[in-house]
């Protein structure tokens, strides 16, 4: 959802009066839950001008929301304004999740309320998940809120939550393209900061498979296309692992891409694509002149071992055409592509590999 178009909130019926004396109503408000307070405020807007300090700090379980939280979430600008001009500390009251009214307004896209509640004191404030107002707006695709916040000098564009995700990483995770565009226009937006799993924003895109986001990130020259995560998996490895061929195609256009990177098992993106059965990705990788097809992992297995075991006949044909010697290569378990093809039950691949092996032996002797 995008931000609500409430730049100019409509005035409500401030002149409405109840026949019940306000003193009695205020007494009722003082012993009412937050939900009941909200209904009374909606029916009698003038109440907001008369509420006491204690009444505005009544919290409702289980979220510990005050009336300010409810008004901010519901977009009730005028009612909240009447409370706020009398007590600006209302903007800083946290609920059970550590969310202030500002955070709830940012989450729901209420731009005028965000502008009213925002202050330098709250610019770096986080909830109990380590999220700032900017992170929350980025997660919920509140483009106008993001636009306002990134223009404030005390807002940290690269503030990390407890998962060490920046607002850019959060926006990427949720596929919020317009928010990503806004953040990328900021020169101070860091492109290569990693979260606790070692994922950069580009790594997150590689996992989600959104090719347009990948292209946007790579337009920034400082973006590292080979940044490994905690398991040594590069963005290309991750895209190959999850079968996102559109992302693979975009990554392969970068001249500085490492197509033969190794993960913690020693597998290259080509091996990974074959292992997980992503034939189209493997074909894209094989079209690159930089791809090495004779690499071995920690188990001494080559891409051909996996292609034979996974019954990927077309890939077997491409691989043995490039290097016939691989057909008789033995891994640490004593398996050859021929034995693995035979074990998989593919008669055609087995016969093809045997034929290639015999020809190779004859030509080599």
Largest Cα separation within the chain, whole Å, is 108
Q: Give the pLDDT confidence score for residue 14 in this predicted structure.
A: 42
Give the mean pLDDT of 153-178: 97
Asked if the model's pLDDT at residue 34 lies above 80, the reply is no
Give the chain's mean pLDDT. 90
Q: Give the pLDDT confidence score for residue 13 in this predicted structure.
A: 45
pLDDT digits (tens, 9 = 90+) for 139-162: 999 999 999 999 999 999 999 999
pLDDT digits (tens, 9 = 90+) for 259-271: 999 999 999 999 9
- Omega of the bond prior to 130 within 30 degrees of 0, cis? no
Tokens standing for 122? 């709250």
Asked if the model's pLDDT at residue 10 lies above 90, the reply is no
Torsion angle of C-alpha atoms 252, 253, 258, 262, degrees rounded to 10: -20
Q: Output the DSSP codes for 120-147.
A: HHHHT---TTS--HHHHHHHTT-HHHHH
pLDDT digits (tens, 9 = 90+) for 62-90: 889 998 999 999 999 999 999 898 899 99
| Dihedral of alpha carbons 238, 335, 286, 281, sign | negative
If one compares 55 and 246, the residue with the highest pLDDT of the two is: 246
Indicate the DSSP class of residue 48.
G
**What burial letters (b/e) apply to 216-232, b meaning 16+ CB within 10 Å?**
bbbeeeebebbbbbeee
3-state SS string over 243-289? Answer: CCHHHHHHHHCCCCCCCCCCCCCCCCHHHHHHHCCCHHHHHHHHCCC
Output the pTM of the full model: 0.86
Asked if the model's pLDDT at residue 363 lies above 60, the reply is yes
Q: Give the pLDDT confidence score for residue 296 in this predicted structure.
A: 97
Asked if the model's pLDDT at residue 172 lies above 50, the reply is yes
CA distance 146 to 1: 14
Distances (CA, A) of 2 to 176, 180, 189: 10, 14, 22
Q: Give the pLDDT confidence score for residue 31 in this predicted structure.
A: 56
CA distance 143 to 292: 43
């Amino acid at each position: 959802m995008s931000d609500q178009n409430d730049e100019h909130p409509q005035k409500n019926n401030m002149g409405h009066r109840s026949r019940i004396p306000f003193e009695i109503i205020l007494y009722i408000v003082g012993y009412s839950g937050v939900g009941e307070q909200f209904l009374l405020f909606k029916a009698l807007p003038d109440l907001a001008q008369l509420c006491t300090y204690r009444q505005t700090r009544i919290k409702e379980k289980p979220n510990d929301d005050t009336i300010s939280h409810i008004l901010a979430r519901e977009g009730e600008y005028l009612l909240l304004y009447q409370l706020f001009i009398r007590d600006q500390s209302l903007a800083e009251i946290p609920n059970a999740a550590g969310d202030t009214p500002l955070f709830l307004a940012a989450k729901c896209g209420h731009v005028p309320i965000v502008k009213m509640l925002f202050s330098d004191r709250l610019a770096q404030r986080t909830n109990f998940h380590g999220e700032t107002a900017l992170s929350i707006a980025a997660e919920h695709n509140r483009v106008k809120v993001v636009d306002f916040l990134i223009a404030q000098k005390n807002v940290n564009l690269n503030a990390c939550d407890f998962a060490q995700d920046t607002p850019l990483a959060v926006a990427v995770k949720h596929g919020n393209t317009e928010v990503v565009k806004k953040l990328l226009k900021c020169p101070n937006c860091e492109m290569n900061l990693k979260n606790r799993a070692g994922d950069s924003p580009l790594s997150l895109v590689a996992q989600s498979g959104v090719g347009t986001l990948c292209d946007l990130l790579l337009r920034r020259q400082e973006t590292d296309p080979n940044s490994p995560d905690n398991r040594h998996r590069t963005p290309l490895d991750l895209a190959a692992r999850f079968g996102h061929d559109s992302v693979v195609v975009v990554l392969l256009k970068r001249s500085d891409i490492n197509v033969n990177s190794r993960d913690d098992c020693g597998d290259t993106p080509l091996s990974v694509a074959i292992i997980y059965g992503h034939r189209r990705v493997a074909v894209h990788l094989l079209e690159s002149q930089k791809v090495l097809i004779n690499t071995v992992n920690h188990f001494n297995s080559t891409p051909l071992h996996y292609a034979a075991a996974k019954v990927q006949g077309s890939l077997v044909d491409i691989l043995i055409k490039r290097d016939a010697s691989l057909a008789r290569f033995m891994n640490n378990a004593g398996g050859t592509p021929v034995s693995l093809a035979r074990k998989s039950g593919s008669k055609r691949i087995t016969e093809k590999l045997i034929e290639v092996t015999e020809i190779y032996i004859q030509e080599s002797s």
